[in-house]
Chains A and B, each alone.
Chain A
């Protein structure tokens, strides 16, 4: 069985959870015999070698087709890169800003997106929608040029591409919902994005969601019939390289960490309120907010006005190893997300032997037992849990001991098997 997959970049150029999930799933699929993937990614070509590329379509869009030999893969992967400025986690407003930013700094907006220092202008940019449409046209062409049995599209930006491929070939379409605009926007949904998402889900033969939380949103908010929506949980890549702690922290002092984009979706303001509640009563603890995002300034001002900045620290955006260093230093990882379709990062924390506190409003809460779960708005409960972890050593001892085992049992291979079942169910 061959799958035409519209996904997102592979490491090392990874932009957040979506790329990680696509990569993991593809890797998992590689373990399944008789299942091959043609992997199509949007990629803005920069300074790299373009000699292997071919130009496709009316717009003469450059396409790079290569056989990718990814490490730890048992087989090579058909990897098609399409010159497109699509990046995950943007809405039309943001994209417009990205575009204008790109003009001044030459092809660097993938990082810009992750750093999140993008400001909303309120101006509506049509460019993103044009990119999506262009991408769909190329998808149509690629679909005609290749042999495959099924189409798999990851998140809303590629849904139109998936639909186009389906129209070109009549092959069944599976769309994979990693997030909906309800999660990203905190309720104030962008109607254009909603429309694209809804059309994709409706055109699909099956919809895969990353958690039951997301499944419910898809059923309730997008009106997709229940039996068409299947939950397949994400997993996590085994973490082989153990990085030693770079420096010893002050003896007896505990570090509680928030690590992620500082956006409304991630609930950073709850983390600050919790920190404030804990710091009033507990001495030997420090809070760190690592990452960046559109709410960062507001958060800094809030922390300052609460007078806790002596014990509450901002690191800004962390790259590469710094993320692991930060995790290894932490005694507790907190993810107070308001709406998190899945949330791979707590799993990475658990891999690094860090106990986690996650909100019930995250998909990952559905599969973890060795984690503390509270509601994101319940400051008291969260504060109490943090105090518990910091003050009663048995708790973190236990999480460290069993958490790693639990995470190690979550394998992409198993997720891939479930995806395979979904494929089987839509094939004639």
Chain B
């Protein structure tokens, strides 16, 4: 029996407004509310709501046989709460069918895994907590931003208690090996690794509506034949893609919804195919080998590396400047600052600064609010400059001031504790 594992990524960044250097130190609001709301509204109408509705119908129809997984970034959840709470409701309905798995990720959809373990863990925990609050669900499998993975990141994820992780079946790490098996982490073999079959995934995500593609039009029958045709021994086909594939990257007119509606039946009826969720796959299958990934990989571009986010000088400088603030962030308790801190880390900001689009444009240009990567960089750095000023003001620089701040924080804590104890004391004396 061959397993088909679907996972969809749901993410929307908070885009910054045009933040000029005149604004630094003057205006501390960074977001382009109009763009954020209108993009979300558009994607909601074209993709999230209709696709959720269709999936709900399918999940109910094929109860227990059709299964899918989602990863919804914390930033996207924030946006839904702010602009479209009905989307959260519709995801809840999906989760309640019991055949939908939710994956863990970093709250900020950030690249922090490449920088700081402590902050990474904090963000993963925060995301898990939010998922629990909203959906009453505890994720078991982890997927990192942009499917970024390396041996070390895998090990870090394992220490957080996750049993499996998703990443790209990049050719350069697999060599002759096939992505269609379960693998395990090279440092800690207890962490299972699911690899994306990028050919079959991209047939849907990128090529589906392309009339110049030699396989166009892609019918469900043809696709299921492809799934079935692979070498008999191959155990699992991981189809990972952006959720926006449905209705947004591939418009309704391409027939993507009809494809999605018909596919489960074709798979379920096929004797050799069945759907699984990532956590089921990890339980059921035996890893065939470990996979060595000394340098981080991702699911982006031909190279499947980090160059789309950290490829040029601007991206590196912005990234380093951002995380140089960590020591102060760790002392910071101001909620507003921490919220901005989350949104500053979203990977999309770095993607906008990519100069790779000079050669391969379209994907990078998607939803990009900037005309050039330089504008993106300057805007980001302006925002970051203002944020740094605010953070410095909140977390004083000199030792004495810092000590004072620390001490007053300790006093605050002790005060709380004293009050708690007093209460206890009172209630016990009352009882007596």
Chain B interface, >50% SS class: helix
Q: Is the CB of B382 within 8 A of A384?
A: yes
Q: Is the CB of A392 within 8 A of B21?
A: no
Q: Residue A154 at the B interface, CB < 8 A?
A: no
Distance in angstroms between the alpha carbons of A369 and B355 in the assembled complex: 9
Q: Residue B219 at the A interface, CB < 8 A?
A: no
Distance in angstroms between the alpha carbons of A281 and B386 in the assembled complex: 14
Distance in angstroms between the alpha carbons of A277 and B20 in the assembled complex: 11
Q: Mark A384-410, 1 if CB is under 8 A from B, else 0.
A: 110110011111011001100000000
Known: A394-B313, A394-B317, A401-B313. A384 touches B372 (CB 8 A): no
Distance in angstroms between the alpha carbons of A385 and B316 in the assembled complex: 19
Q: Is the CB of A384 within 8 A of B314?
A: no
Q: Residue A372 at the B interface, CB < 8 A?
A: yes
Q: Which residue of A lies closest to B353 (CB)?
A: A394
Q: Which residue of B lies closest to A280 (CB)?
A: B22
Q: Is the CB of A395 within 8 A of B378?
A: yes
Distance in angstroms between the alpha carbons of A58 and B385 in the assembled complex: 73
Q: Is the CB of A388 within 8 A of B313?
A: no
Distance in angstroms between the alpha carbons of A427 and B21 in the assembled complex: 56
User: Chain B: interface residue count, which band?
Assistant: 20 to 34
- Which residues of chain B come closer than 8 Å to A373, judged between CB atoms? 372
Q: Which residue of A lies closest to B358 (CB)?
A: A369
Q: Mark B292-336, 1 if CB is under 8 A from A, else 0.
A: 000000000000000000001110111000000000000000000
Distance in angstroms between the alpha carbons of A380 and B18 in the assembled complex: 11
Q: Mark B363-375, 1 if CB is under 8 A from A, else 0.
A: 0000000001011
Q: Is the CB of B22 within 8 A of A380?
A: yes
Please tell me the number of chain A residues within 8 Å of chain B, measured between CB atoms. Answer: 21
Partner of A392, one of B312, B372, B378: B378
Distance in angstroms between the alpha carbons of A188 and B313 in the assembled complex: 45
- Which residues of chain A come closer than 8 Å to B317, judged between CB atoms? 392-394
Q: Is the CB of A388 within 8 A of B22?
A: no
Least Cβ–Cβ distance between B323 and chain A, in angstroms: 15
Q: Residue B377 at the A interface, CB < 8 A?
A: yes
Q: Which B residues, 14 to 38, have Cβ-Cβ distances below 8 Å to chain A?
A: 20-22, 24
Distance in angstroms between the alpha carbons of A398 and B318 in the assembled complex: 13
Q: Residue A308 at the B interface, CB < 8 A?
A: no
Least Cβ–Cβ distance between B229 and chain A, in angstroms: 44
Partner of A391, one of B22, B358, B374, B381: B381
- Which residues of chain B come closer than 8 Å to A380, judged between CB atoms? 20, 22
Q: Mark A64-103, 1 if CB is under 8 A from B, else 0.
A: 0000000000000000000000000000000000000000
Q: Is the CB of A384 within 8 A of B318?
A: no
Least Cβ–Cβ distance between B350 and chain A, in angstroms: 12
- Which residues of chain A come closer than 8 Å to B21, judged between CB atoms? 281-282, 383-384, 387-388, 391
- Which residues of chain B come closer than 8 Å to A392, judged between CB atoms? 314, 317, 377-378, 381
Q: Is the CB of B20 within 8 A of A385?
A: no
Q: Is the CB of B374 within 8 A of A394?
A: no
Distance in angstroms between the alpha carbons of A373 and B378 in the assembled complex: 13
Q: Is the CB of B314 within 8 A of A395?
A: yes
Chain A interface, >50% SS class: helix
- Which residues of chain A come closer than 8 Å to B358, judged between CB atoms? 369
Q: Which residue of B lies closest to A406 (CB)?
A: B358
Distance in angstroms between the alpha carbons of A141 and B24 in the assembled complex: 68
- Which residues of chain A come closer than 8 Å to B382, judged between CB atoms? 384, 387-388
Q: Which residue of A lies closest to B315 (CB)?
A: A394
Partner of B372, one of A372, A391, A393: A372
- Which residues of chain B come closer than 8 Å to A387, judged between CB atoms? 21, 378, 382
Q: Is the CB of A388 within 8 A of B372?
A: no
Least Cβ–Cβ distance between B17 and chain A, in angstroms: 13
Partner of B377, one of A281, A282, A395, A402: A395
Distance in angstroms between the alpha carbons of A277 and B374 in the assembled complex: 20
Q: Which of A369, A393, A394, A395 has the most CB of B within 10 A?
A: A394
Least Cβ–Cβ distance between B34 and chain A, in angstroms: 18
Q: Which residue of B lies closest to A384 (CB)?
A: B20
- Which residues of chain A come closer than 8 Å to B374, judged between CB atoms? 372, 385, 388, 395
- Which residues of chain B come closer than 8 Å to A401, judged between CB atoms? 313
Distance in angstroms between the alpha carbons of A298 and B427 in the assembled complex: 84
Partner of A388, one of B312, B316, B355, B377: B377
Q: Which residue of A lies closest to B320 (CB)?
A: A394
- Which residues of chain A come closer than 8 Å to B381, judged between CB atoms? 388, 391-392
Q: Is the CB of B378 within 8 A of A388?
A: yes
Distance in angstroms between the alpha carbons of A387 and B374 in the assembled complex: 12
Distance in angstroms between the alpha carbons of A387 and B24 in the assembled complex: 11
Distance in angstroms between the alpha carbons of A372 and B372 in the assembled complex: 8
Known: A372-B374, A393-B317. A398 touches B20 (CB 8 A): no
Known: A380-B22, A383-B20, A388-B21. A394 touches B316 (CB 8 A): yes
Q: Is the CB of A397 within 8 A of B313?
A: yes
- Which residues of chain A come closer than 8 Å to B312, judged between CB atoms? 398
- Which residues of chain A come closer than 8 Å to B377, judged between CB atoms? 388, 392, 394-395
- Which residues of chain B come closer than 8 Å to A391, judged between CB atoms? 21, 381, 385
Distance in angstroms between the alpha carbons of A17 and B21 in the assembled complex: 35
Q: Which residue of B lies closest to A360 (CB)?
A: B371
Distance in angstroms between the alpha carbons of A383 and B316 in the assembled complex: 24
Q: Which of B20, B313, B358, B372 has the most CB of A within 10 A?
A: B313
Least Cβ–Cβ distance between A349 and chain B, in angstroms: 16
Least Cβ–Cβ distance between A187 and chain B, in angstroms: 26
Distance in angstroms between the alpha carbons of A339 and B313 in the assembled complex: 32
Q: Which B residues, 343 to 392, have Cβ-Cβ distances below 8 Å to chain A?
A: 355, 358, 372, 374-375, 377-378, 381-382, 385
Distance in angstroms between the alpha carbons of A391 and B377 in the assembled complex: 12
- Which residues of chain B come closer than 8 Å to A394, judged between CB atoms? 313-314, 316-318, 377
Q: Mark A218-262, 1 if CB is under 8 A from B, else 0.
A: 000000000000000000000000000000000000000000000
Q: Which A residues, 141 to 190, have Cβ-Cβ distances below 8 Å to chain B?
A: none
Distance in angstroms between the alpha carbons of A290 and B317 in the assembled complex: 33
Distance in angstroms between the alpha carbons of A380 and B22 in the assembled complex: 9
Known: A384-B20, A387-B21. A398 touches B314 (CB 8 A): yes
Q: Which residue of A lies closest to B380 (CB)?
A: A392
Distance in angstroms between the alpha carbons of A388 and B374 in the assembled complex: 9
Q: Mark A199-231, 1 if CB is under 8 A from B, else 0.
A: 000000000000000000000000000000000
Distance in angstroms between the alpha carbons of A369 and B317 in the assembled complex: 20
Least Cβ–Cβ distance between A131 and chain B, in angstroms: 45
- Which residues of chain A come closer than 8 Å to B20, judged between CB atoms? 380, 383-384
Q: Which residue of B lies closest to A282 (CB)?
A: B21
Distance in angstroms between the alpha carbons of A393 and B314 in the assembled complex: 9
Q: Which of B314, B316, B372, B378 has the most CB of A within 10 A?
A: B378
- Which residues of chain B come closer than 8 Å to A395, judged between CB atoms? 313-314, 374, 377-378
Q: Which residue of B lies closest to A369 (CB)?
A: B358
Q: Which residue of B lies closest to A398 (CB)?
A: B313
30 A-B pairs (CB sep. < 8 Å): A277-B22, A281-B21, A281-B22, A282-B21, A369-B355, A373-B372, A380-B22, A383-B22, A384-B20, A384-B22, A384-B378, A385-B374, A387-B21, A387-B382, A388-B377, A388-B378, A388-B382, A392-B317, A392-B377, A392-B378, A394-B313, A394-B317, A395-B313, A395-B314, A395-B374, A395-B377, A395-B378, A398-B312, A398-B355, A401-B313
Besides the known contacts A384-B21, A398-B313, 7 further A-B residue pairs in the complex with CB atoms under 8 A apart: A369-B355, A388-B381, A391-B381, A392-B317, A392-B381, A398-B355, A401-B313
Which 8 pairs, one residue from A and one from B, show the smallest C-beta to C-beta distance? Answer: A394-B317, A388-B378, A387-B21, A394-B313, A398-B313, A392-B381, A384-B20, A394-B314
